[in-house]
Structure 1
Amino acid sequence: MKTLDELLEEAKLAHGHLCAGQVLGVRMALCGMQKLGIEDPRGRDRKRLVTYVEIDRCATDAIGVVTGCRLGKRALKFRDWGKMAATFVDLEAGRAVRVAARESSKELARQLHPELDNKNAQQMLAYRELSDEDLFTMQWVSVEVGPQEMPGFKGERIACDQCGEGINYHREVIRDGRTLCRGCAGENYYTPVE
């Protein structure tokens, strides 16, 4: 595993800047890897790890850098819960740890570095220095990663009866005997402009 500084530099390059969220994400992923005993998540251990992130902020990019988990590899799973937390699943060992940022870490950063008047600067420095126990709560959890959620899964593809677009991984909706994509079933995040 690379050093904290090396990983922070990689996170900065991947994300476009270095901020407190990046530092927290790198530390969170390192903590998860340490708890699971995964030493080389981007190399020899890459196929045994799936990561669930609960926020779409800076930390998520940093977690991806450390773990090597990516949406396109189906190893990074996003749950839009708005929490600064991630669950790291060791598929080989059949165990998982959820790591969540403590709200108290922000106050600890202010106390640790009152000489800095910028809260991001306080947090960036403190998040490098504080212990895992001061930064995070850690909880062993059980996560069932179904076959269609596994990295590398190749499932059947079915066409939507309404729009004709292909649907992967059993994400279709059956309504009134018709096979629909989620958009045609009324779950659109967009509105077509005619």
Structure 2
Amino acid sequence: MDDFNTLLQGSAEAHGHLCPGQVVGVRMAMLGCRLIGLDNPRELPQIKKLIVYVEIDRCATDAIAYVTGVKLGRRSLKFIDNGIMAATFVNLETGVAFRIVSTETSRDLAHVYTSSGCTDKRQQQIEGYIKMPDEVLFKVTPVRVNVPIHDMPGPSRFKVHCEACGAMVRDKKEVLLNDRVLCRSCAYGSFYQELEDEERRKIA
């Protein structure tokens, strides 16, 4: 694995800017990989040994993905929408897993680790998160993650048609409701609404 500064620079370029979340994400990913025994997660064969569960869709997640090489499309990056700055790193070969949470106290302590005279809060966080020890920046917990076979990386092993709309539903994401196999949109409602005919004509 590259050194911290190299990874931070690459992550910031990939993300579009350097921010406190990039620092947290890079450090979190480096620590997580170290704890589960992976030193080169972006390359074969280690890339096939790693799954990361992230719990927030913020800057740190891009940094974690950059450092580790995990991707949604590879099914090695899992998004759990908890709104928590946390990630769980799983070694699929050994079963070893650690959940790492960015502490709220680290935000309040950032200024302690910055150069004197710096009053910009964002810059304080960037400098502080770079310098503070892991035990201040993070809470680390060993955990067990039972990854279901349908959530594993690789080709889709399970697929069925929704009995309402006909969509192909893969990887056991279907819902059994009133003895019908449905996609989640048909079962629970969708995040989108189809346009009425008059609205469609306006954009045609």
The TM-score bracket by the shorter chain reads over 0.9
Of 61-70 and 175-184, deviating more is 175-184
Does 1:12 find its partner at 2:12?
yes
Match of 1:26 in 2: 26
TM-score of the two chains, using structure 1 as the length reference:
0.95
Q: CA deviation at 1:110?
A: 1.8
Q: CA deviation at 1:37?
A: 1.7
Could you tell me whether the CA contact under 8 Å between 2:89 and 2:99 is conserved in 1? Answer: yes
Matches of 2:102 and 2:110, distance apart in 1:
13
Q: CA deviation at 1:153?
A: 4.1
Q: How many residue pairs end up in the alignment?
A: 194
Match of 2:140 in 1: 138
1:77 is paired with a residue whose SS is: strand
Matches of 2:170 and 2:13, distance apart in 1:
32
1:71 is paired with a residue whose SS is: coil
Matches of 2:89 and 2:155, distance apart in 1:
19
Matches of 2:142 and 2:188, distance apart in 1:
37
Could you tell me whether the CA contact under 8 Å between 2:118 and 2:124 is conserved in 1? Answer: yes
Matches of 1:106 and 1:182, distance apart in 2:
38
Q: CA deviation at 1:112?
A: 2.4
Could you tell me whether the CA contact under 8 Å between 2:174 and 2:184 is conserved in 1? Answer: yes
Match of 1:52 in 2: 53
TM-score of the two chains, using structure 2 as the length reference:
0.91
1:62 is paired with a residue whose SS is: helix
Moved over 4 A (4+): none
Matches of 1:11 and 1:110, distance apart in 2:
24
Q: CA deviation at 1:177?
A: 2.7
Q: Percent identity?
A: 45
1:87 is paired with a residue whose SS is: strand
Q: CA deviation at 1:175?
A: 2.1
Could you tell me whether the CA contact under 8 Å between 2:150 and 2:158 is conserved in 1? Answer: no
Match of 1:96 in 2: 97
Match of 2:82 in 1: 81
Counterpart residue identity of residue 125, structure 1: E
CA-atom RMSD in angstroms: 1.2
Matches of 2:113 and 2:87, distance apart in 1:
25
1:78-109 deviation digits (Å, cap 9, x = unpaired): 11111111000001111100111111111211
Matches of 2:179 and 2:24, distance apart in 1:
48
Q: How does 1:1-194 map to 2 (within 5 A)?
A: 1-43=1-43, 44-113=45-114, 115-194=117-196
Matches of 1:82 and 1:58, distance apart in 2:
12
User: Which residues of structure 1 form unaligned runs of 5+?
Assistant: none
1:14-60 deviation digits (Å, cap 9, x = unpaired): 21111000110000001111111211100131111100001000000
